[in-house]
Amino acid sequence: MNRRQFIYAAASSALLPLVGCSSKPDGHKSIVIVGGGFGGSAVAKYLKKYNPALQVTLIEPQKTHITCPGSNWFLAGLTTMESLTFTYEGLKKRGVVVVHQSVEDIDDIGQRVRLSDGQSLDYDKLIVSPGIDFRWGDIDGITQANSDKIPHAWQAGAQTLLLKKQIETMKQGGTFVMIAPPNPYRCPPGPYERVGMVAHYFKQHNPKAKIVILDPKDKFSKQALFMEAWQDLYGDMIEWVGVADGGKVSKIDVASMTVFSEMGEIKADVINAIPAQKAGDLAFKAGLTNASGFCPIVAGTFESTLKKNIHVMGDASIAGTMPKSAHSAVSHAKMTAAAIVNSLEGKGVLSPAHVNTCYSLVSDKYGISIAGVYNVQGEKIDEIKGAGGVSPHDADAAFREMEATYARGWHSSITQDVWGA
């Protein structure tokens, strides 16, 4: 470690007020990253890997990151909260300065961000990966204030713990209602993995319980595989009601736990209401979003089409046909890091290819998966037809069990890649 790297390593753990003064004390380029989830943490790591001389500062309010991947498994008692929780020590060891603040606003003309403690930080390039926020109020009764009674658990942490407690204390033979979100939302198979995990728990502890999914969509990711597995593993415990059968919810009365949809009224014991989604709030404040509520980007570099020198990645970005997933966010991160390093070194733009894989558990021994490969086609990121696929329909129990093992392996390896030392 040379003297300059030592100073930055020290600053990352002890001398944080330093960041408010000058971001470029030794003339090296300053890259500031907003958000220490999958996208932001991965881009910090890979920027340092591709060019160790860069000053890389990650701004994230939380001291640890709890991954959404695996949080459905936690609901079924198949993993612990500790195994989903990661610190920023690995990134600090790589020389990334980690500042536990929120970014309040972005001055894209002055190339400066203002933090919640009032300090400001200059940048040469800014990367924004704030994840999602919710469109509260799209459905009457689904509000932020009500989320402590009808949790979404779509950002892992306190909400996940709350939903788990509600599942565990639901009355025998009670009804669990999930309100699935409309497209686009983070983790397309996530709601359907979740009901399988809840059913796995109920099968052992509340076998007469019923699960109803009210869905504003007419189809969903890995649908045939999920529905076949639900039937095989849980009989008629799970009922999916798509939009054609009245699955669109108009209102929830939280006091009486009644859900009103086009199919009629359901009296629920637990309601898991997952609201419609949009880019994280900061993206709106900074003028990075378009009418869709997400952030348009240049396909090859993830630079915002609306603001120069700001790149947006992960769930907040409009990455063509790539799903909003942790795997996608990490793929965006690696390509964004390469694009920024190349641009600072005066090299040309890469022609990136991306991969996405989403594993889902349907029980502890039953896994299914979907994979896609993407590249830049014209102005857009699009899937390379025939390069991806889903698990086979006619697989035997040993194959499903092997995929369940791969699912756990995927979580270990991606989190080690992003937050490992």
Q: Is 278 helix (H, G, I), strand (E, B) or coil?
A: strand
Closest distance to ligand FAD from the beta carbon of 75 (Å): 9
Q: Which is nearer to ligand FAD, 62 or 250 (CB)?
A: 62
C-alpha distances out from residue 109 to 31, 112, 242, 307, Å: 16, 8, 47, 9
**Contact between 234 and ligand FAD per CB under 6 A:** no
Which of the ranges 137-145, 249-257, 299-307, 320-328 carries the binding residues for ligand FAD, by CB under 6 A? 320-328
Cβ 411 vs Cβ 66: under 8 Å: no
Q: Counting Cβ atoms within 10 Å, is residue 409 exposed (0-12), middle (13-18) or buried (19+)? A: exposed
- Interface of this chain with ligand FAD, residues 79 to 118, rule: CB under 6 A: 102-103
**Contact between 37 and ligand FAD per CB under 6 A:** yes
- Print the binding letters for residues 188-227 with ligand FAD: x by CB under 6 A, - otherwise: --x-------------------------------------
**Contact between 154 and ligand FAD per CB under 6 A:** yes
* CB-based contacts of 14, cutoff 8 Å, min separation 6: none
- Interface of this chain with ligand FAD, residues 263 to 282, rule: CB under 6 A: 280, 282
Place of tokens 């086009």: 262
Q: Which residues pair with 99 in a beta bridge?
A: 59
Which of the ranges 165-173, 185-193, 206-214, 239-247 carries the binding residues for ligand FAD, by CB under 6 A? 185-193
Cβ 17 vs Cβ 97: under 8 Å: no
CA dist., res. 9 & res. 16, Å (int): 11
Q: How many chain residues bind ligand FAD (CB under 6 A)?
A: 37
Closest distance to ligand FAD from the beta carbon of 356 (Å): 7
Q: Which is nearer to ligand FAD, 119 or 258 (CB)?
A: 119
- Print the binding letters for residues 323-362 with ligand FAD: x by CB under 6 A, - otherwise: -xxxx-x----------------------------xx---
List strand residue ranges (DSSP E) for 119-162, in order.
120-122, 125-128, 132-134
Which helix (H) or strand (E) covers residue 270, if one does? strand 270-273
Sign of CA dihedral 86, 333, 106, 25: positive
Q: Which is nearer to ligand FAD, 116 or 377 (CB)?
A: 116
Choosing from 12, 23, 32, 40, the residue that interacts with ligand FAD (CB under 6 A) is: 40
Closest distance to ligand FAD from the beta carbon of 267 (Å): 26
Q: Which is nearer to ligand FAD, 39 or 95 (CB)?
A: 39
Which of the ranges 12-20, 129-137, 226-234, 293-301 carries the binding residues for ligand FAD, by CB under 6 A? 129-137
Whether the link from the prior residue into 352 is cis, omega within 30° of 0, is: no
Q: Looking at beta carbons, which residue is closest to ligand FAD?
A: 37
- Helices 190-205 and 223-234 meet at what angle, rounded to 10? 0
Q: Which residues pair with 270 in a beta bridge?
A: 176
Choosing from 10, 13, 26, 62, the residue that interacts with ligand FAD (CB under 6 A) is: 62
Closest distance to ligand FAD from the beta carbon of 410 (Å): 7
Which of the ranges 136-144, 206-214, 243-251, 322-330 carries the binding residues for ligand FAD, by CB under 6 A? 322-330
Q: Is 251 helix (H, G, I), strand (E, B) or coil?
A: strand
Q: Which is nearer to ligand FAD, 104 or 245 (CB)?
A: 104
Choosing from 71, 166, 301, 391, the residue that interacts with ligand FAD (CB under 6 A) is: 71
Q: Is 70 helix (H, G, I), strand (E, B) or coil?
A: coil
Rg (CA), the chain: 22
176, amino acid identity: F
Structure tokens at 133: 């926020």
CA dist., res. 341 & res. 417, Å (int): 20
Give the footprint of ligand FAD on this chain (CB under 6 A): 34-40, 59-62, 65, 68-69, 71-72, 102-103, 129-131, 154, 186-187, 190, 280, 282, 314-316, 324-327, 329, 358-359
